[in-house]
Each structure stands twice: as structure tokens, then as C-alpha cells.
Structure 1
């Protein structure tokens, strides 16, 4: 484990990386991990001024702000990194991926736990905000620009403002989608599709021809357009009513 393992993990996960040494020498997301390990060492020994000074120097050179009190797991990949903020009582699990402009922020002015806790294998898309002292489960994907204000279960995908759970899965986030964090499902779109499907089934069961179908048939009388075919039919309601 250790810093070399962190660098090797970044090289394996970033298709732009040409090797471990390139990560060690040129990646600000790795440089900030080095400085944070050192700053956290001083912080745990209550040498707060030295710890904060190290973190501020790292912020100046990397544009990434990690409070020295934050607990960071192994193999964290901060991609690009500019604008990332991780608060004092935040905790980040192992093998997480964080993109630029992400905030792990706190709420309130109390001195205790006020920042989020991330499980293992969490992916946070660019611009996402996670605010408050709650847990983000293992294998969670947070979509770009999402604002998460509450606990998220294991295996969930969260999108939107405020964040809504779009789907649940048991498997870890695949490497193939780690860099594709904007193509996540929209829960509102999913709900609308379900609603349109139910309306289509109801119209068919009542023998009602929709306005869209009527217009289509007037313009293209030979068209076989059927909106119901866009959705999965219910076998109990697909029969035409008797006249």
C-alpha cells in the first residue's frame, strides 16, 4: 500500500497516464495526497498550525483544498482536481474517484461531525456537492453537478438538484464508466416514461385514439405509427374492447 500504490492505481485508472512515474511527477491529484498524508500526521499530533500551513501550500500549488483533519483512504484518484474541497471531518473510503469542483462540505457551525463520509469505490462527478454529516454507501455514483443532502445506500446512482436516486446496483462501479460520469439516468425522465406507458395502456383499453395518433394518420394515412409500440404492453390490457 502507501503512496506508490496510490500512484499505481491512478496510472491504471486514467487512460491519459503514460506510467506511474508520470503520475508521481506531474499529477496534482497525487501531489495533494502526499501533502495531506504529511499534514494529517501533524494534525493527529495536535500541531495544527504546521498541519494547516502544509495544506495551504498544497492548495496554492494544486488548487485542491483538503483539510488536514480529513480522513482519506487508499487509492484515491482526484482527476484534474481544480476546485475540489474536502472538509475537516470528511472521511473518504478506499478506491474512490473525485472529479474537479467537487465539494465535501459541512452544515452548521458545531464543532463535531459535520461533513460526509464516503464508503469504498465511490465515484463523484464534476461539480457535485455533498453537504452534511451523513454516509454515502459503497459503490455509489454521484452524477455531475448533483447536490446530495442526505444519506445514500450502497450501490445507488444519484443525479439532480437536490440529488435523487436513479437506480440501485450491487456491483462495484466498472472502470469503463468511471470516466463516463455524465451519462447516468435521469429519474424524472424515468418517471415520465412510466407515466406515458400507463397512459398509452389506458387509452388502448378504453379505445381512445390519442391526438398525436390522429394527426399522424391524417398526414401519413399509410403510416403504421403506434405510440403503444414504444412501450412494453400489458397482455391483460392490449385487447381491443368489444363495440
Structure 2
């Protein structure tokens, strides 16, 4: 058990440059939220739902992180900062990183049956601050969800999703950024050249319209020059 704790603390230090030692990680609200969730989840599996909820509410009061006792979480899960909500049927793989103010929320079961309502995050996923992942979608391995993105559909393996509604960037995900990427979004180089490309297209269209207008003006001047001049009017 001590070895598992050391490995977890080391995994957090590897992803967060802020702590100077393992001891600092022990003060992180995300570490405490995960500790209380392990207790609440065992109570939930034993069908001691009230006790599980009591532990969950105490943890939320202490850490500002709300993890439903029914959520299933893998190894080395790291919540950086807090104010995160994780729903009952959410499933989280190994080495997943979530930043502050993230919601793994549920969709409305229109058939009246609860079932699988919350997202599944596979191994090595990174979710940026403020992102909302809604419904029983699957986020593929090594995918990155950018800050404030809203995800309502499945995310391919290795994709970087940005925007509302979230869409994949044009970065080749299969070979790009296989290592851990802080905050889930690349910053050193443009990850979405589409806006610049659109501006270029608009400028080309404006130039074409200007040339057509100039041609029409020139043709009109030629017609006026060819008209006979009637004297006495």
C-alpha cells in the first residue's frame, strides 16, 4: 500500500512542476478527494449507499471536488486544483489528468432508464480547465480536451479537441505529442490554422470583386465615350 502511494505521488510530481517534494502533493485537494472516493466507492459497491454519500459530501466540503461514489477510477488519477464534478457512471482510465472546473456530466435519459449517462475517459487523457464532457461519450487514449471545450461526441485516440461545440484540431494526433502535455493544449505552435486560411480566402474574394468592379467601371466609361454627342440639347 505504501508503494502504491509513493508511485501515485511520483506520478503527480511528474505532471506538475509546482511541488518540490512528495509531501506537498499530500496537501493537494485532488489527492484527498481521491482518497475519500476510494472509501466511498467501496461502500457504494457494498450497497451502503447512504454511508457512501456521507463520505462523498464530506469530501466535497473539504476539497470542493464532487466525485460520485459510483464513479470508477483507474490508477494515478490527478485532479489539479479542484471544483470538479464527476458523475455516477463516469469511468476513468489510468494516468488521466484533469484541471480545475471540469465537469464529467450526464445526459438526460429520455427513455426513463438511468443506465450509462456519463463519459468514459481512457488512459492518458488530459482535460483542460473549464472543459465540459457531457453524456456517455468515450474519449480515446492520449486525447487532449482543451480549456473550456464542450464535448458531446466520441473523441478519437490522440485527438486534441477545442471549442464549443468541440472539434478536432488539424494537428496529426497519431504521431504528435505522445508525451504528457500540460493543460492539454499545445501552445508553441498554432494548433488550428483554419482561421488564417479563412482570412486568406476572404481577401482573395475581395480582390476578385474589386477587379470585377473596376472592369465594369471601365466598360461603362467606354460605352459613354462611344455615344454620339447631340448638339442643341
Say whether the fold is shared (TM-score over 0.5): yes
Q: Is 1:170 aligned to residue 174 of structure 2? A: yes
Q: Which residue of 2 aligns with 1:135?
A: 138
Q: Contact 2:146/2:183 (CA < 8 Å) preserved in 1?
A: no
Change in Cα spacing, 1:125 to 1:37, as seen in structure 2 (3 Å) is same
Q: Which residue of 2 aligns with 1:103?
A: 103
Counterparts in 2 of 1:1-243, with a 5 A limit?
Answer: 2-24=4-26, 26-81=27-82, 83-109=83-109, 110-167=113-170, 168-171=172-175, 173-175=178-180, 177-179=181-183, 181=185, 183=187, 187=192, 190-197=193-200
Work out the number of aligned pairs and report it: 204
Distance 2:174 2:191 in 1: 19
Distance 2:174 2:114 in 1: 35
Q: Contact 1:117/1:136 (CA < 8 Å) preserved in 2?
A: yes
Change in Cα spacing, 1:128 to 1:74, as seen in structure 2 (3 Å) is same
Deviation of 1:178 (Å): 1.2
Deviation of 1:179 (Å): 3.9
Change in Cα spacing, 1:130 to 1:144, as seen in structure 2 (3 Å) is same
TM-score normalised over the length of structure 2: 0.78
Deviates more, 1:95-104 or 1:107-116: 107-116
TM-score normalised over the length of structure 1: 0.75
Change in Cα spacing, 1:186 to 1:15, as seen in structure 2 (3 Å) is closer
Query: Aligned to 2:31, what secondary structure does the other structure show?
Result: helix
Deviation of 1:185 (Å): 5.1
Query: Aligned to 1:192, what secondary structure does the other structure show?
Result: helix
Q: Contact 1:125/1:182 (CA < 8 Å) preserved in 2?
A: no
Deviates more, 1:190-199 or 1:40-49: 190-199
Deviation of 1:191 (Å): 2.6
Q: Contact 2:89/2:118 (CA < 8 Å) preserved in 1?
A: yes
Q: Contact 1:166/1:185 (CA < 8 Å) preserved in 2?
A: no
Runs of 4+ residues over 3 Å off in structure 1: 1-4, 179-187, 195-204
CA deviation map 1:211-239 (0-9, x unaligned): xxxxxxxxxxxxxxxxxxxxxxxxxxxxx
Query: Aligned to 1:2, what secondary structure does the other structure show?
Result: helix
Q: Contact 1:72/1:91 (CA < 8 Å) preserved in 2?
A: yes
Q: Contact 2:72/2:90 (CA < 8 Å) preserved in 1?
A: yes
CA RMSD of aligned residues (A): 2.7
Deviation of 1:45 (Å): 1.2
Distance 1:161 1:52 in 2: 33
Deviation of 1:50 (Å): 1.0
Any gaps of 5 or more consecutive residues in structure 1?
Answer: 210-243
Any gaps of 5 or more consecutive residues in structure 2?
Answer: 212-233
